[in-house]
């Protein structure tokens, strides 16, 4: 399985505009004939299809992409079985999780949550929105290629904040009212929880441990998650553990016992019971199904 992270971007010979946390790619002529199968995305990905058509499989679902489609996905997603037409091209933006955590301080809470709440989304932009996205990418490439200046980083962050609001408008159901700009204490707690939960460097904790980390009671913590996401804190934690487990099970170099330990379980049996309760399959059955 190929991995797309910043080290892979640095090692590649593709024409990326990049710094330590941002990478932009816009020429699929270079990758059209590469023999790439499954790709594990280890960052936030934002792509706008500008020409042609493609077929992409994510989470066992197949999507047909055409010009104007906008794809967003959070870290630890696997893109499978992709095919593209000869005239296919897209604008692709890759951001490190650390940078997105910093950006979330500048943009409204609901955008931050929408970036974490689903593994991926495919939306469609009209021609007016497409023109804006092309302009955003042009400005970002210009900034990344320009010499350092006192306000270069601030300009980049403000540009991303503007993109975030446009993306939120694209994703917002028609007629939905905008939330108040000021963060509530609950929204701040959820933002910190989401960033911790999706940080690959952080271990998974239980509800009581997360509540203690944020200096609140478990009951209040769960009520915040339920009110703002529709899911309890325990459901959000379980969903992320299952998603990471499924990705790890597709890596044949790791044993199920090693994966159980990686996910924070005391033993393989406990992990197996949890996985079966959530998915209806044992870890071994899931692994064998994916290998087939």
Q: What pLDDT digit, counting tens, does each position of 2-35 carry?
A: 888 888 888 887 888 888 899 998 888 777 666 6
Read off the pLDDT of each residue in 129-155 and give the average, rounded to a whole number: 91
Alpha-carbon dihedral 75, 76, 82, 84, rounded to 10 degrees = 10
Higher-pLDDT residue of 95, 78: 95
Helix (H) or strand (E) holding 116, with range, is: helix 109-117
As separate numbers, helices (DSSP H) first and strands (DSSP E) second, the chain gives 12, 11
Report the pLDDT value the prediction gives residue 177, as an integer from 0 to 100. 45
CATH 2.60.120.280 residue ranges for the chain:
2-171
Q: Which residues contact 145 (CB under 8 A, 6 or more apart)?
A: 17
* pLDDT tier for residue 235 given thresholds of 50, 70 and 90: very high
Question: Whole-angstrom Cα distance, residue 77 to residue 41?
Answer: 5
The reported pLDDT for the residue numbered 175 is: 44
Q: Confidence band (pLDDT; 50, 70, 90) for 105?
A: low
- CATH T-level assignment (fold) for domain 2-171: Jelly Rolls (2.60.120)
Question: pLDDT grade, residue 253 (50/70/90)?
Answer: confident
Q: Tell me the mean pLDDT in the region 253-268.
A: 91
Asked if residues 76 and 244 have their Cβ atoms less than 8 Å apart, the reply is yes
What pLDDT was estimated at residue 279? 92
Q: Hunting for tokens 């707690």 — which residue is that?
A: 189
User: Nearest 5°: CA angle at 252, between 246 and 255?
Assistant: 80
Most confident of 5-19, 100-114, 147-161, 167-181: 147-161
pTM for this prediction: 0.73
DSSP 177: P
Q: What is the pLDDT of residue 116?
A: 57
The ranges of the chain annotated as CATH 1.10.10.60 are: 185-291
In this structure, of 50-54, 169-173, 271-275, the range with the lowest mean pLDDT score is 169-173
pLDDT at position 128, please? Answer: 93
Classify domain 185-291 at the CATH class level.
Answer: mainly alpha
């Amino acid at each position: 399985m190929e991995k797309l992270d910043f080290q892979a971007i640095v090692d590649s010979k593709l024409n990326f505009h990049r710094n330590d946390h941002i990478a932009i790619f816009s020429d699929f002529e270079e990758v059209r004939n590469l023999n790439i199968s499954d790709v594990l995305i280890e960052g936030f990905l934002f792509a706008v299809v500008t020409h042609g058509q493609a077929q992409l499989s994510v989470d066992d679902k197949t999507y047909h992409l055409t010009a104007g489609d906008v794809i967003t996905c959070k870290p630890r997603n696997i893109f499978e079985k992709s095919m593209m037409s000869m005239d296919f091209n897209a604008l692709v933006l890759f951001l490190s999780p650390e940078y997105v955590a910093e950006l979330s301080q500048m943009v409204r809470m609901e955008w931050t949550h929408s970036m974490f709440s689903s593994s991926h989304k495919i939306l469609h932009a009209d021609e007016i929105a497409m023109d804006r996205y092309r302009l955003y990418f042009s400005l970002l490439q210009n900034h990344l290629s320009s010499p350092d200046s006192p306000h270069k980083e601030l300009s980049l962050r403000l540009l991303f904040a503007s993109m975030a609001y446009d993306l939120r408008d694209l994703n917002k159901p028609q007629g939905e009212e905008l939330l108040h700009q000021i963060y509530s204490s609950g929204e701040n707690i959820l933002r910190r929880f989401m960033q911790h939960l999706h940080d690959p460097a952080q271990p998974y904790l239980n509800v009581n441990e997360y509540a203690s980390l944020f200096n609140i009671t478990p009951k209040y913590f769960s009520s915040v998650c339920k009110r703002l996401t529709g899911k309890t804190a325990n459901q959000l934690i379980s969903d992320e553990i299952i998603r990471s487990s499924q990705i790890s099970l597709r890596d044949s170099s790791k044993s199920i016992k090693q994966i159980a330990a990686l996910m924070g379980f005391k033993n393989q049996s406990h992990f197996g019971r949890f996985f079966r309760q959530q998915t209806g399959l044992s870890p071994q059955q899931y692994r064998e199904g994916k290998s087939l």
